[in-house]
Amino acid sequence: MAKHSPSAKLTKATITFLAILLVLAYCSTPVRGLRGLVGVRTKIEDVKGNREVQELGRYSVKEYNRSRRRSNGGGEDLRFMEVVEAERQVVSGIKYYLKVAAAADARQSGGAPRTFDAVVVVKPWVQSKKLIDFAPSTASSN
């Protein structure tokens, strides 16, 4: 077996140490993904012009109506109007916090708009989205 000289050991130790430092530096650097830091909620600008956000708002109202009908069968459907505010958070997917303007179906009532808070999680790599929460907003934008 060939013996390594002390300078070779030092070099291997130095290289190993530098490699560990590099990995630690990489792991501790904030990861930027999908326009935000992982775990940090960031405001989405130009919500009214953002088609993806508006479609998520439409989806959340549709899912709310479907879930409500399935659970109790009564009441009137909401009609999506627009998303008025939105934030996103990168988690194990993208979690959207939406303020959705919706109204009761105008054919059944006056149809006055109300604001709802919706939370939707999107996992683009498996093409899934799920409504997590949908409730009347406590801090109405209207």
- State the pLDDT at residue 19: 65
Q: CB within 8 A of 78, min separation 6: which ones?
A: 61, 64, 65, 102, 103, 104, 105, 116
Of the listed ranges 26-35, 52-61, 105-114, the one predicted with least confidence: 26-35
pTM above 0.85, yes or no: no
Give domain limits for the chain: 1-30, 36-136
Instruction: Give the architecture (CATH level 2) of 36-136.
Output: Roll (3.10)
**Angle at 135 (CA atoms; ends 130, 141), nearest 5 degrees:** 115
